[in-house]
Amino acid sequence: MKPSTIKKSAKEEREHQVLMGLIDYYLTCGKPVGSNTLKETIFKELSSATIRNYFSHLEEEGYLEQLHASGGRIPTEKAYRLYAAENFESPILDDLAKGEIEKLKQDESSEIALFLQKSAETLSEITGCPVFMLAPRFDNDFVLEVKLVMLDPHRCLCVVITNFGLIRTEVLHTDLKLNSFRLKRIESYFAWRQTKHDKPENLEPDEEELAHNWYNEIIVRYVVGYSNFIDDEVYRTGFSHLLHYPEYENAQELSKALSLFENIHGMRLLLKDCFSVNALKYWIGKELSTFAEGDPNCTAMAIPYYVNQKPVGAVGLIGPLRIPYRRLFGTLHHFSRIVSEVLTKNIFKHKITYREPISTPIYLSREDQLLIRQTQAMLIEDKTSKEKETKESS
């Protein structure tokens, strides 16, 4: 049954229009709105005294607040929720946002992960908001290249680049003293193991042994991580956009918003919430406390995207309470439409399959899963550490 609607009186309807007009104006200027300003810009047929009377009642109802006794009014969280609900079915899409999103259609690559990351960055630039994206795991991927970056004489960062554009990083340790030339020779060994062409002949015996052990370690780690798909991939971009909003000039308010954006688990839950209803969804202010500690003074919204009309992931954004709701609703709808179209086309063209994460790996308890996640950075087989411990104990 549909909820019955109570018809508003003429006075209530005007009061409602004043509230919506004030929010529209405040979204544009970001400054408290007075009765004279609202009369001069929107409601010329109403007197300032009448508008002030509406203001007083709206304050009592919890829709407006006055920061200073003689200042104008600003909307509350309750007002933003009403405004978002009223404009949810009437989104708008400006030509600039539409044009930038349409450019994503030009992608015809098999690098699906890279496409999603680039798409998220495009959406962040268009909206001026941090963006986060939940993505499925794409099969048929393989290690394309392995790069080594020296951190210090005994540690290096290993960067694994896959055919779909995914990047994995690991920190590797050795007792052998490293330098840039040694790492280049080890990289050439990696390339030989991948292609079986032109085995390098300039490796010293200890370098070849290290290269052999490291390569096996890297591949085993990649296979284990690829096979045990427990959590969805979450791409995040556009942190710095929050600094452009005056609402976050205060470090404490900024940290509240960032605490939500930096919480990967909270991001997954938020996106899965949107994914479960299979529709655009938004959360304003205290509604986000489910997904983050404290009281985030911000707004989030998210929408699923599809492959062949089946939802496979979701994309969301975060901003202050004062964001252009109608425009962002329209932008997210069009973004989802275009990304879904490109994904469907490229997945079928390149015969790529995908899968969702397994909620409970076979034979592993919840405690075992948590232990695995906490120890992902450890070596699967670290003979040098064991030998070192044996020497020290003896």
The verdict on residue 237 lying in a domain is yes
- Same domain? For 56 and 167 the reply is no
Number of domains in the chain: 3
Q: Per residue in 22-48, pLDDT tens?
A: 999 999 998 999 999 999 999 999 999
- Reference 312, options 97, 102, 111, 116; nearest CA is 116
Nearest residue to 323 (alpha-carbon basis) of 130, 131, 127: 127
Residue 237 sits in the same domain as residue 312:
yes
Is the same domain home to 255 and 342? yes
Residue 105 belongs to some domain of the structure: yes
Question: Does residue 268 sit in the same domain as residue 193?
Answer: no
392, part of any domain: no
| Average pLDDT of the residues of the chain | 84
pLDDT tens-digit map of 208-224: 999 999 999 888 887 77
Per-residue pLDDT for 389 more than 80? no
Q: Highest-confidence range of 86-90, 258-262, 355-359, by mean pLDDT?
A: 86-90
User: What size, in residues, is the chain?
Assistant: 394
Three-class SS of 60-117: HCCCEEECCCCCCEEECHHHHHHHHHHHCCCCCCCHHHHHHHHHHHHCCCCCHHHHHH
Q: Are 154 and 108 in a shared domain? A: no
147 and 267: one domain? no
Please determine, for residue 279, whether its predicted confidence score (pLDDT) is greater than 60: yes
Alpha-carbon span 215 to 208, nearest angstrom: 10
Task: Please give the pLDDT value at position 232.
Answer: 60
Give the model's confidence band at 345: pLDDT under 50 very low, under 70 low, under 90 confident, else very high. very high
Residue 284: CB partners within 8 Å, gap ≥ 6? 77, 80, 81, 84, 299, 321
pLDDT, position 8: 72
Average pLDDT over residues 89-97: 95
Q: Does pLDDT of 348 surpass 60?
A: yes
Alpha-carbon 91 to chain mean position: 22
Q: What CATH number should be reported for the domain holding residue 28?
A: 1.10.10.10
Residues 182 and 119 occupy one common structural domain: no
Task: Supply the pTM of this predicted model.
Answer: 0.74
Domain region containing 208: 143-229+371-380
Q: Are residues 103 and 31 in the same domain?
A: no
Q: Are residues 147 and 129 in the same domain?
A: no
Please state the rounded mean pLDDT for residues 128-156: 87
* Whether 125 and 223 share a structural domain: no
Pair 335, 261 in one domain: yes
